[in-house]
Amino acid sequence: MDTPRARSALDGIPVYRPGKAATSDDHKLSSNENPYAPLPGVMERAGAELARMNRYPDAGMTALYDALADRFGLSADHFAAGTGSVAVLFSLLTAHLEPGDEIVYAWRSFEAYPIAADLTGATTVRVPLRADATHDLDAMAAAVTERTKVVLVCTPNNPTGPVVTASELSTLLRTVPPHVLVVVDEAYVEFVRDPAAASGLDALAAHDNVVVLRTFSKAYGLAGLRVGYAIARPDVATSIRKATPPFAVTDLSQAAAVASLESHAVLEERVEAIVQERVAMVAALREQGWDVPDTEANFVWLPLGADALDFAVACDPVSVRPFAGDGVRISVGTPEVNAQLLALAATWQASHTSWA
């Protein structure tokens, strides 16, 4: 009997399977979340919106776009917001890709890329990371064909941590044809300290085909409220807005995002504290003998290969993110839980390196 059948583009897309619940929020080092409470003023402003839940949100997202325009010194039509920058990426790829087109991205990179890309029916070209877990932008440029419409660049790269340098990105942008969109995913940009790192905004100022993705989920600590945005030339921003479901971002989330932007000084203090913890964690792990790639984000990568899943089990009660056969990503959490994780990692090393 005939039954309704979804598009074949969905066949390769996995169903989301939740991982094991963490012992406590503080023990969850598996999702690159911010361990801090909301920034000052956020609870009050969001709370006021909660009492208006009978009303639809501002579909024009006026206050949010105005606040972003202010922050970046660009007119409001350069922004397109959605329910997290993952959703913005889905809208962007829906707007720009169709079957027969190609999209290029590095692998391993962000888990949402294959889902967003495959859903469009376009063909994916994955370019392996280099041995030091960095993007190989020369190989990515070489992978561009006359069918390529989009190149994704994740910097810092989730889950491995390194950034793309400014000179690598500008070479890529001078190499690819101007009709190819180059998406610079900067979900972790606030944590970057490397002066050689690429800047999506600088790239956008120099090239019309750049889209920068930013989020309130990581440094700003609003992961649960789902707000992210693209910064792009107004025509690209318009195509993203058209492909986004109306009323997606609630007024509560918009208000929290605007209030967070106003708490800039406290944000910077917190980000700096997380960066200090990251630097200490990397140093301690390397001291233990781990081969940790450079990281400019709020997480570290352990290239455990076949031991990834076993290591994650050994980290109990700390919850980390294993990628079977490849490695484990560990978010920077509170100092207490980071110390607990370092002790677990030392124990693992003691029982696994004595054979060498």
Ligand X SMILES: *Cc1c(COP(=O)(O)O)cnc(C)c1O
Tell me how many degrees the CA angle 43-49-54 measures, rounded to the nearest 5. 145
- Which residue is nearest to ligand X, using beta carbons? 84
User: What is the C-alpha end-to-end distance of the chain, expressed in Å?
Assistant: 60
Question: CA torsion 344→319→30→135, rounded to 10°?
Answer: 40
CA-closest candidate to residue 139, choices 114, 175, 181, 190: 175
**Angle in degrees, 0-180, between the axes of helices 62-72 and 251-262, rounded to the nearest 10:** 20
Smaller CB distance to ligand X: residue 110 or 348?
Answer: 110
Total site size for ligand X, rule CB under 6 A: 14
Stretch that binds ligand X, among 44-52, 117-125, 217-225, 330-338 (CB under 6 A): 217-225
Smaller CB distance to ligand X: residue 295 or 340?
Answer: 295
Smaller CB distance to ligand X: residue 284 or 329?
Answer: 329
CA-closest candidate to residue 314, choices 326, 328, 332, 294: 328
Binding mask 177-216 for ligand X (x = CB under 6 A): --------x-x---------------------------x-
Rounded-to-5 percentages of helix, strand, coil across the chain: 40, 15, 40
Give the span between the Cα atoms of 18 and 30, in whole angstroms: 12
Binding test (CB under 6 A) with ligand X, winner from 57, 228, 293, 327:
228
- Asked if 86 is part of the footprint of ligand X (rule: CB under 6 A), the reply reads yes
Smaller CB distance to ligand X: residue 229 or 290?
Answer: 229
In single-letter form, the type of residue at position 25 comes to D
The number of C-alpha atoms within 13 Å of 129 and in the hemisphere containing its C-beta is: 23
Q: Which of residues 29-58 bind ligand X (CB under 6 A)?
A: 32
Stretch that binds ligand X, among 53-61, 84-92, 309-317, 322-330 (CB under 6 A): 84-92
| 27: DSSP letter | G
Binding mask 235-274 for ligand X (x = CB under 6 A): ----------------------------------------
Binding test (CB under 6 A) with ligand X, winner from 85, 165, 244, 319:
85
Smaller CB distance to ligand X: residue 127 or 187?
Answer: 187
At closest approach, how far in Å is the CB of 153 from ligand X?
Answer: 10
**What b/e readout covers 117-154, taking b as 16+ CB neighbours within 10 angstroms?**
bbbbebbbbbbebeeebbbbbeebbebbeeebbbbbbb
Q: Which of residues 136-175 bind ligand X (CB under 6 A)?
A: 154, 158
Are the beta carbons of 120 and 98 closer than 8 angstroms?
yes
- Asked if 110 is part of the footprint of ligand X (rule: CB under 6 A), the reply reads yes
- Asked if 229 is part of the footprint of ligand X (rule: CB under 6 A), the reply reads no
Question: Given the rule CB under 6 A, which residues bind ligand X?
Answer: 32, 84-86, 110, 154, 158, 185, 187, 215, 217-218, 223, 228
